[in-house]
Amino acid sequence: MNSNFLTPPMHSFAGLPVCRQLDDLEADIAIIGLHYVSPYPQNPAILSPHPAVETAPDAIRMQSSRFIGHLGHYDFDFNDVLLPDPRIRLVDCGDVDRKTADGRQNPEHITAAVRTILARGAMPIAIGTDEGGFIPYVRAFEGCRELCVIHIDAHIDWRNERYGILDGYSSGMRRASEMPWIQSMAQIGLRGIGSAGPQEISDARLFGSVFIRARDIHQNGIHACMEKIPVTDQYLITIDADALDMAIAPGVLYPSPGRLTFDETTDLVRTLASKGRIAGISLFEVRPERDINGLTASTAAQLIIHFIGTMARYGNYNRIPRLPQTRH
């Protein structure tokens, strides 16, 4: 694969080794930054007081720098060291299409990069600013069997189009539902008023999407809600930062009162990892220009560190030889 559209990170995530040539990737988990921009006309209601000068991958890596050299430390969320087997191979692959100012951004680069990571046998953890980047990301999973999208967000993102645009951040789950390799979907953390009208709700339900509101989690607990999640071989987890409590993730385009807490979010991912294979994780919609003291990026960095610890436990990396995929 031509990797000319990849830029090595200035500072890698938590000081991890950097992969400069994806074709040579040797890793169990690969971090990759995405720089997709939804081609929507600017909405004056959400214009930032300052233009975006920093992207989510940069901001999250910057906040992760305080954990350089810490990944072997004890993590009280696991009551154990973060990485029980330090041989797990963690790599930062840098950014796809980092320089987009000339308008020559190509979503196919995202698909190609993620597909190469998968072909090399690594699990991609994608960090991106604009959630429209989920669309080319999920295209890379073509050919995967029985994939269930777990979408953690305050909103459902089922618009067919907005301003005539099909591939924007309001349409990610609609586009994913149209891909034959996406078999099922659960949407978790829903609340408040968003871009969905009755048509979007009924289309999502017709597809079979399972709605789990933030309220349902608070009232019934994670485990009761998890029983509604489709049983499948593989989960593809994607998170919009606005799913989280505004107190720990204020830097988002659509702040939504009603929160998922940090613990609820990590418990969700940990419970999923105990039920099935995690094919990939992506985290979008950290908007550094709206952030307060880097708090949202810091929360995102610590989520990713927790996900690495989760995968180190449930991904069976190194400690147990990987079994060949069984066909049913």
Interface with Mn ion (CB under 5 A) = 153-155, 240, 242
CB of 254 to Mn ion, least distance (A): 6
Cβ distance to Mn ion smaller for residue 116 or 209: 209
- The CA-atom distances, in angstroms, between 5 and each of 28, 109, 111, 309 are 22, 7, 12, 30
Taking the complex as a whole, the smallest distance from the CB of residue 172 to Mn ion amounts, in Å, to 10
Q: Which is nearer to Mn ion, 64 or 187 (CB)?
A: 187
CA distance 161 to 228: 29
Cα Rg, the chain, nearest whole Å: 18
* Shortest Cβ 195–Mn ion spacing (Å): 9
Q: Which residue number, 154 or 278, has a Cβ lying nearer to Mn ion? A: 154
DSSP assignment of 149-180: EEEESSS----S-BTTBSSSTTSHHHHHHTST
Question: Do residues 60 and 301 touch, judged by C-beta distance below 8 A?
Answer: yes
Residues 6 or more apart whose CB falls under 8 angstroms from that of 256 comprise 154, 155, 191, 192, 194, 242, 243, 246
Residue whose CB is less far from Mn ion, 169 or 317 = 169
Query: What minimum distance in Å lies between the beta carbon of 217 and Mn ion?
Result: 16
Q: Which tokens in the block code for residue 130?
A: 């604009």
Q: Name which of 18 and 210 has its Cβ closer to Mn ion.
A: 210
Whole-number minimum distance, CB 149 to Mn ion, in Å? 14
Q: How far is CA 273 from CA 57, 156, 310, 316, in A?
A: 24, 22, 7, 11
Query: At its nearest, how many Å lie between Mn ion and the CB of residue 22?
Result: 29
* Beta carbons within 10 angstroms of residue 224's beta carbon: 12
The number of helices, as runs of H, and strands, as runs of E, in the chain is 8, 11
CA angle 68, 266, 288 (to 5 degrees): 60
Residues pairing with 31 in the sheet? 92, 125
Q: Which is nearer to Mn ion, 155 or 191 (CB)?
A: 155
Q: Which is nearer to Mn ion, 22 or 37 (CB)?
A: 37
Q: Which is nearer to Mn ion, 9 or 194 (CB)?
A: 194
Give the chain's end-to-end CA distance (angstroms, integer). Answer: 32
Q: Minimum distance from CB of 283 to Mn ion (Å)? A: 12
Question: Cα-Cα-Cα-Cα dihedral of 292, 293, 296, 299, to 10°?
Answer: -150
CB of 131 to Mn ion, least distance (A): 7
